[in-house]
Amino acid sequence: MMKTLKARDIAILLGLFLGGGLFALSVHQTADFSPEDAALGPFTVARDAVFEGLPVIFRNGDGMGKAREVFRSRLQERKQLALWLGASHLYSINNYHPGEEIAVYHANKKARERSSPISYLGIGLPNGNLNEFLAIFLHLREAGLLPTWLIIGVVYDDLREPGIRPKVRKLAPGLDLAGGKGLGVGGGNLHGKTDGLERDREKGSAIEDTPQERLEKLVVGELEKGWVTFASRHRLSAFINWKLRTHIFSVGEAFRKMGNPAKRVPPVPLDLKQWNEGALDEILRIAREDEIEVVLYKAPHPQVAGPFYHIRKRYDGFFEQLENRCGSEGIHYLDIETLVPLEYWMFGTAIDPWHFQEKGHRLLAEAIDSAMQNIEEKDKNALQ
């Protein structure tokens, strides 16, 4: 005989049904939302770019197999390939509108318009540090893919980023880096010898490798198999978090308008600064050996009224030393900190201190390609 459902049981079942329906509807409404975009900022999105039928930007250490294919294709066309490494400013657009393109696309377009053999291929890492750029450079080098040019956007704030993220670390295992032999400080750090600075070091949880953890994995796994929507729960969680951060950001903007001073970050730790400078040493040394021309640029930064985001003396001191070094070693250096006007960093009254609008991307592309054109002309004149 079937047991009659009580009112409480019906209420519970109805609640579960309604909750599941609301969850499914919410997931559907966020189908076009990218958690990666949320990590960039409330008003900024990541963009891919395709030029002449091939992708010209790769991000987050993903798609390196495709990046190698594009690299080889351009080399087979006897193009002078310019490998462009940078942080998220390479592929992110503030206040995006459909049809807008990023700097790497515009740089390729400008090169074609002036009949240059240069092709730009960008690899961007959010908050990428110089050790990670070294890992990518060596990964491509090990595959026999040597660019004619190496362009690196140097962001002072990213010198504070410790360790090498797992995606990038996986690009290096096939390289002969035992003990960093022949690669100095930077090479050794590819194996995480940073005295506890590894970005991917994780703390174990209290239930790690227990019956409870195994049961949870089993239940979650079965739910994901039987209910596709459940597998999208992380995207919904990221969306809710993003909306919350956006509202908090708006409150912060309101305080800023009332005269609250701009946020300042702590100084870049000396050990991390030296660790990343060691990676730059290796990049430049290997580039010299391979006869690759290097272009370093001081990444654009919004010029705001009031206190600068960093301690100005330390910020300027680092780049002055870098510029002097470039001058003495024959490395091409561009100071384009003030290149992008403040209005191109804005979304209404809000400001994104790391990412700019498409107009800023056009300016960055023009600055890089113009510099490359000047270098080409000087090289031609030197040969005559």
Residue-wise pLDDT tens digits, 179-189 = 344 444 444 45
| Inside any domain, residue 142 | yes
Q: What is the pLDDT of residues 49-84, one digit of tens each?
A: 999 999 999 988 888 899 999 999 988 887 789 999
Q: What is the pLDDT of residues 228-237, one digit of tens each?
A: 555 555 555 5
Q: How far apart are CA 327 and CA 147, in angstroms?
A: 22
Q: H or E stretch including 81?
A: strand 80-86
Phi, psi of 353 (to 5 degrees): -70, -5
| Inside any domain, residue 346 | yes
% the chain with pLDDT above 70: 65
Between 5-14, 107-116, 121-130, 229-238, the lowest mean confidence (pLDDT) is in 229-238
Q: How far apart are CA 113 and CA 110, in angstroms?
A: 5
| Inside any domain, residue 284 | yes
- Its pTM stands at 0.73
Reported confidence tier of residue 97, pLDDT bands at 50, 70, 90: confident
| Inside any domain, residue 22 | no
Q: Check whether 99 has a pLDDT greater than 70.
A: yes
Which CATH number do you get for residue 271? Answer: 3.40.50.1110
Q: Check whether 194 has a pLDDT greater than 90.
A: no
Reported confidence tier of residue 198, pLDDT bands at 50, 70, 90: very low
Q: How far apart are CA 191 and CA 173, in angstroms?
A: 9
Q: Check whether 119 has a pLDDT greater than 80.
A: yes
Q: Check whether 259 has a pLDDT greater than 70.
A: no
In this structure, the strands spanning 149-154 and 80-86 are parallel
Q: How many CB atoms lie under 10 A from the CB of residue 352?
A: 21
| Inside any domain, residue 13 | no
Give the largest Cα separation in the chain, rounded.
101
Q: What is the arithmetic mean of pLDDT over 261-277?
A: 78
The range of the structural domain enclosing residue 41 comes to 33-193+267-383
| Inside any domain, residue 144 | yes
Burial of 221 (0-12, 13-18, 19+ CB in 10 A): exposed
Look at residues 112, 116, 53 and name the one whose alpha carbon lies nearest to residue 80: 116
3-class DSSP state for residue 44? strand
Q: What is the arithmetic mean of pLDDT over 275-297?
A: 94
| Inside any domain, residue 379 | yes
% the chain with pLDDT above 90: 41
DSSP assignment of 230-296, as one string? Answer: GGGHHHHHHHHHHHHHHHHHHHHHHHHHTTPPPP-PPPPPHHHHHHHHHHHHHHHHHHHHTT-EEEE
Q: Answer for the pair 179, 143: CB distance below 8 angstroms, yes or no.
A: no
Look at residues 323, 357, 352 and name the one whose alpha carbon lies nearest to residue 340: 357
| Inside any domain, residue 84 | yes
Q: How many CB atoms lie under 10 A from the CB of residue 45?
A: 18
Look at residues 283, 269, 379 and name the one whose alpha carbon lies nearest to residue 329: 283
Reported confidence tier of residue 272, pLDDT bands at 50, 70, 90: confident
For the chain, the domain total comes to 1
In whole numbers, what is the pLDDT of the chain averaged over residues? 77
Phi, psi of 55 (to 5 degrees): -65, 145
Q: How far apart are CA 118 and CA 52, in angstroms?
A: 13
Q: Check whether 153 has a pLDDT greater than 50.
A: yes
Where on the phi/psi map is residue 163: left (φ > 0), alpha (ψ -120 to 50), or beta?
Answer: left
Q: What is the pLDDT of residues 314-325, one digit of tens each?
A: 999 999 999 999
Q: What is the arithmetic mean of pLDDT over 101-128?
A: 94
